[in-house]
Chain A
Amino acid sequence: MSAPPRLFNEVLLSVENISLSFGGVKALTDISFDIMKGEIRAIIGPNGAGKSSMLNCINGFYHPQQGAITYKGVKRRRMRPHEAAEQGIARTFQNIALFRGMSTLDNIMTGRNLRMKTGLFWQALHLGPARREEIEHRRAVERIIDFLEIQHIRKVPVGQLPYGLQKRVELGRALAAEPELLLLDEPMAGMNLEEKQDMCRFVLDVNDEFGTTICLIEHDMGVVMDISDRVVVLDYGKKIGDGVPEVVKNDPAVIGAYLGVGH
């Protein structure tokens, strides 16, 4: 029923033996996996398995005590989140983290701030380079707005939007940065079927049209199995499975973790 697995041959990011703990609590233990350029990679696991912590490590928000992350062939030193963003890693959040006081348009424009360079002086004048830059990026943002079909809420403060649309704006903000690696933390949580279908379509289109590599966390197994190329399974901070959906689905350890059977 499913299409033959796509083939990828270039590693974009690899995680080697990552361990992370807070005080005495171990969030991640000795995790290794890789993300190929161009694929859709899913991370699944029960609540508290360490999925979000894993994303937080990848974009530099948490600093693992052990292990290394290699991105685009370069082993990474300890870095701040904005440095990860500068290298082309964008993300969305489990609990929506939009800038609630700003409009949809401004939120997505903020996603492009890395590419906007004019200094205070020109900004204050709002002439010449500053104005050209603003309009050029506005054009790019309008393309994203069209792509996500959110033209009608362009000027609405995001705090007033319904949940599903907020999730979409958040995706738009991440896309605005034109990332190479897009991390999606439960992009479909709390959505109804129709919204989920829309979101799946956007994720697939992003991957397809822009060639963006996507790493997503999701609880809806149907969605995960349908759209992802490969799946990592975490449980209690340990990796218990890794592979294409068909294989993972039938892995006894994974089934055990989900159904609560003792290992």
Chain B
Amino acid sequence: MIYREAGQYKASYQADQAIFPIAQDRLVMIALLAVAFVVVPFVASEYVYRAVLIPVVILSLAAVGLNVLMGYCGQVSLGSGAFMGVGAYAAYNLGVHLPFLNPLVCILLGGFVAAATGLVFGIPSLRIKGFYLACATLAAQFFGDWAFLRIKWLTNYAPSGSVNAPPIQLFGLDLSSPTAAYLIALCFTLVLGLATKNIVRGHIGRQWMAIRDMDIAAEIIGVRPMYAKLTAFAVSSFLIGVAGAMWAFLYLGSWEPAAFSIDRSFQLMFMVIIGGLGSILGSVLGAAFIVLLPIFLNQVLPPLGALAGLKISTATVSHFEAMIFGALIVFFLVVEPHGLARLWSIAKEKLRLWPFPH
């Protein structure tokens, strides 16, 4: 009843092309931002930061990045874990070799290094597509795994192979608390997420989608496949790289190559499919879902098992998790390829007409 757009007229193309053309949506967005920036820092506990907020915010950005490539440009990638790793190790090495750089600058530059790497591994996409390309990105993943482990220069010859992030500070201010990490990550994700939204609703985004929907027709009407695909790879890898650097600097603190293994790639892919291919909002929903579900299962399954007289170990919970994720992937692909984002917009559509749907 409250959610009505009657009486809201768009007088210019600019208003018609706004991200949130409906006034109520704008209000909700502003309220959400206010909660995220002002309320959350007062109420969240350390556990909530570490287990929920920081992972959701950072992985949202990574999922947005993968969605650019998979959801918008239609190029399947199984190497996103490695690109997160590239961002992380690049940021780390920049910090080591150029100590005057602020760690936050290193995070951003890590994204650029990842973008360059993404360009290199994107070149095969000009000749191959579909699961052939998936195989090519697997090459990136395994080469990354190996490089982070074996090329000692990358880890600054650390004997254990594990490296530490520099302490985060800005203008002499210590920003190593979970609250600060959360706010920094939120800023990065919001700004870059907005930038990505802008790109996908502009002509570059339309070129990506054209390539995704019908690459041959796209080329015939004048989309240059090389430009479209390589920009998608670069933007996607940049976002994933920044997310990777944040994951290392703001969340892990010290990490080993296993943090960026193929499991991470699959995790990001699940976020994108469950959240919704080709939707920025969906990437965030997907990230939240994938982070929250295991926490939920770990809380709920053991007591349930105890009720039934079974003892459920953490290993069993993780197997259940795999089963649920797998089943959900198939479910969403069969029933709703646009994922949670589409369910959300259907709900909104219903709400617009409620309570008089006819």
Contact = CB atoms under 8 A, between A and B. Distances in A.
Is chain B found bound to chain A in the same assembly? yes
Interface of A: 59, 61, 80-82, 84-86, 90-91, 93, 97-102, 106, 109-114, 116, 118, 120, 123-126, 130-131, 133-135, 137-139, 142, 173-174, 177
Given A124-B195, A125-B195, A131-B14, A100 B213 contact: yes
Query: Which 10 residue pairs of A and B lie closest in terms of their CB atoms, listed nearest first?
Result: A85-B222, A97-B217, A126-B198, A99-B213, A124-B195, A116-B203, A114-B222, A81-B220, A123-B202, A138-B13
Using C-beta atoms within 8 Å of the partner chain, give the interface range for chain B.
20 to 34
Contacts of A125: 195, 198
B212 interface: yes
A101 B209 contact: yes
16 contacts: A81-B219, A82-B223, A82-B225, A97-B216, A98-B213, A99-B212, A99-B217, A110-B223, A113-B206, A114-B222, A120-B199, A123-B203, A125-B195, A126-B198, A126-B201, A177-B221
Q: Which of A120, A131, A139 has the most CB of B within 10 A?
A: A120
Q: Which of A86, A111, A123 has the most CB of B within 10 A?
A: A123
A135 B278 contact: no
Majority secondary structure of chain A interface residues (helix, strand, loop or mixed) = helix
Contact of B206 (A61, A109, A126): A109
B221 A90 contact: yes
A82 B207 CA distance: 12
Given A109-B203, A120-B199, 18 more contacts: A61-B216, A82-B219, A85-B220, A97-B214, A97-B216, A106-B206, A106-B209, A110-B209, A110-B218, A113-B203, A113-B221, A113-B222, A113-B223, A120-B235, A123-B198, A130-B198, A135-B12, A135-B13
Contact of B219 (A80, A120, A123): A80
Interface string B326-357: 00000000000000000000000000000000
Contact of B14 (A82, A135, A142): A135
Given A102-B206, A120-B235, A123-B203, A111 B213 contact: no
